Amino acid sequence: MSVLSAAFVTVFIATVIAQAMPLLLASVGETIGEQAGVLNLGIEGVMLIGAFSGFVVTLATGNFWLGMLAGAVGGVIANLAMLVLNVWLGLNQIVIGLAITLIGEGLTSVLYLQNYSKSSTSLGTAPELHIPFLADIPVVGPAIFQQSGIFWVSLLLAIAVGFFLAKTNWGLSIRSAGQKPSSLDAAGGSVVKIRSQAVILGGAFVGFGGAYLAELTTATFTPFITNGLGFIAIVITMLSRGRIVFVVITSFVYGLAVAIGPALQVLGFAVPADVIKMLPFIVVILTLIIFARSSVVPPALGAPYTRGAR
């Protein structure tokens, strides 16, 4: 197949989008939490739980929108542990995050193998939304404008979060809870309330991202399907410094890094699967080395807020 053939480019663009979207959604969720001062290391587990809930519901009902909703609900439920133990009780975020990751990995793997390992688990393809006129553009049309409606809703949600974080009072409260919680407290806001909202909303996005991965990217669930994607989301969040525009850009750079591997294989270069799996991580570590100084996190990140404590 030639590099310039229309079908090849179309598939390539579609792959980039399919790989970038779960990461984008998860990073948006993590951004909300981190801006409010909650570093959620359990995001890998939350994604898996979201992916599994979405998979189960879509497999049972055949409805992709219900599956996405279930993924978001699953994410919120998984994040409740972080909410109660860290935001309310002030326990160590790193330890709880690891616990959520382990439980998410273990539970989804055990449940999947117990219930679904023997039957066909392909979800098929989600109904596509043909956008009039745009869908008819030769190469780009089928790749971008014939996506499922879920893609557009996801993109809109991400942009909405970016707007709310940057331009509204609520966003300001979120950011102050991460920058200087005591000032939010002094201004009459409640740090615990704001952080609770952030963790719940963040969980919904991360779960949504997990469901996107299972529903649209792979169309099935396998144990450990995220394979470190949650941790990449944390890196992207750190590098983006709370700006959703950068989250979107870096997520698509990641999508490119993943899509290049299979594309090279199609073109006849024998690239080992392990190299393809490593590539995004190498890109990430190189980015971290080059932009080491700009990976700034909110000052109160990781610190539980105790009123009156110094």
Partner 1 sequence: MITEHSRARNIVDGLVRSILPVILALIVAGFIMLAMGSNPLDFFAGVWTYGITGGNWQRSLVLMAPLVIVAVGLIVAFRGQLWNLGYNGQYLLGAVVASGVGPYLFAALPAWLATLIIFVGAILVGAVWSLIPAILKARYGTNEIITSLVMSFIAVGIVNLLIKGPFKDPNTPMPQTAVIPDDQLLPYIPGTEIHVGFVIAIVLALVAQFVLSRTSFGLRMDIFGASPKAARHVGINSTWMVILLFALSSGLIAFAGSIDVLGQYTYQRANWDPHYGDAVMPFVFLARLSPLAAIPLVAFYAILATGGTLAAQQAGLNVDFLLVIVGLILIFMTITEYVGERRRLGQSYLPPGLRRTLVRPFDGMRGRKSS
For residues 77 and 108, give the distance between their C-alpha atoms in angstroms, rounded to a whole number: 14
Q: Is 95 a binder of partner 1 (CB under 8 A)?
A: yes
Helix (H, G, I), strand (E, B) or coil at 4: coil
Q: Could you say which of 9, 14, 66, 98 contacts partner 1 (CB under 8 A)?
A: 98
The size of the interface with partner 1 (CB under 8 A), counted in residues, is 46
CA distance 135 to 276: 31
Closer to partner 1 by Cβ: residue 114 or 122: 114
Contact 234, 30 (CB under 8 A): yes
Name the segment binding partner 1 (CB under 8 A); options: 54-62, 181-189, 225-233, 250-258: 225-233
Site for partner 1 in 16-75 (CB under 8 A): 41
Query: Exactly one of 121, 146, 164, 223 binds partner 1 (CB under 8 A); which one?
Result: 223
With CB under 8 A as the contact rule, the residue among 8, 164, 246, 281 that binds partner 1 is 281
- The nearer residue to partner 1, 127 or 299, going by C-beta atoms, is 299
| Residue from 275, 299, 306, 307 binding partner 1 (CB under 8 A) | 275
Q: Name every residue whose Cβ is closer than 8 Å to that of residue 126 and which is 6 or more positions away in sequence.
A: 64, 148, 150, 215, 216
CB of 90 to partner 1, least distance (A): 8
Q: How far apart are the first and last CA of the chain?
A: 64
The helix (run of H) or strand (run of E) holding residue 54 is helix 43-61
Does 119 bind partner 1 (CB under 8 A)? Our answer is no
Residue number, 86 or 173, with CB nearest to partner 1: 86
CB of 110 to partner 1, least distance (A): 5
* 150: CB partners within 8 A, 6+ apart: 64, 65, 68, 126, 212, 215, 216
- DSSP code at position 136: G
Out of 219, 260, 288, 303, point to the residue binding partner 1 (CB under 8 A): 288
CA dist 266 to 66, 139, 216, 271, Å? 35, 18, 22, 10
Hey, what amino acid is at 283? Answer: V
Q: Interface residues with partner 1 (CB under 8 A)?
A: 41, 81, 85, 89-92, 94-96, 98-103, 105-107, 109-111, 113-114, 223, 228, 231-232, 234-235, 238, 272, 274-275, 277-278, 281-282, 284-285, 288-289, 292-293, 295, 297
